[in-house]
Amino acid sequence: MKLEFDRFRLAAATADLADEPAARAHADAVEFRMDLASDPLDALAGYDGSLPLVATNRAAWEGGEAAADETARLRALREAVTHEAVAAVDVEHAALGTTAGARTASHARDNDTQVIASAHNFERTPAPPTLRNTIARCARAGDVGKVAVRAVDPDDALTVLLATRAAACAGERVATMAMGEAGRHTRALAPVYGSRIGYAPVDPADATAPGQYELGTLRRLVDDLTSKQIETAGRLCK
């Protein structure tokens, strides 16, 4: 399946592909959290849904629950790419600097699968120059650079939005968000500033990151607040 990030896409995050029918009304894709599923490759083999999949096998050192064996973790991602429904894979930016990580990205591209290069900071929002640099490095490494940081106050949220805008105006494809209650609103507002991907669980009880909205709520907020701004975002850069 194809999944282009030429505009904002909303991904329904889940560890259970049986959730896909409930996501169809609101989502453009399903982020399949392989690290949270019991038999992820079997689940992919049996998937018959209509939404394209973003395969994520998040490393424990970046907030996930994948096994400690890095070779096996990345091998599973490469196996996921062989499934037609997998349109994108999320690979940590730090992992892309390793031989196995680079091989995973190359394998994805050889199979016409998009690469999301991601970085997460669950403790804080870095200073603006550092955050901007991280976003740029992730964008260069992947088809989309995804950066999620923790916000502890409104200033942190504003830092994320401004960095997102700077990246978009520089022609970088990025997905950004500030985690936690102080940054919750950035999940709806970041698309105005150029963010290409949003994440939300179908069931709020299954949230995979702090501060996520329920899927239908985020869809409504993005559509209501940002549809016209998203269409004209590139022309507003100065």
Cβ 125 vs Cβ 156: under 8 Å: yes
Known catalytic membership, residue 146: yes
Question: Counting beta carbons within 10 angstroms of the beta carbon of residue 110, is it exposed (0 to 12), middle (13 to 18) or buried (19 or more)?
Answer: exposed
Taking the alpha carbons of 203, 209, 215, 217 in that order, is the dihedral positive or negative?
positive
Which tokens is 14 given?
A: 């889940």
Q: What's phi and psi for 179, nearest 5 deg?
A: -80, 160
With vertex at residue 50, the alpha carbon angle to CA 13 and CA 75, rounded to the nearest 5 degrees, is: 55
* From 83, 120, 185, 228, the catalytic residue: 120
Helix axes 70-81, 99-110, angle to 10 degrees: 0
Known catalytic membership, residue 26: no
Q: What's phi and psi for 167, nearest 5 deg?
A: -65, -45
* From 26, 83, 93, 146, the catalytic residue: 146
* CA 5 to chain centroid: 11
Give catalytic residues, as residue numbers.
120, 146
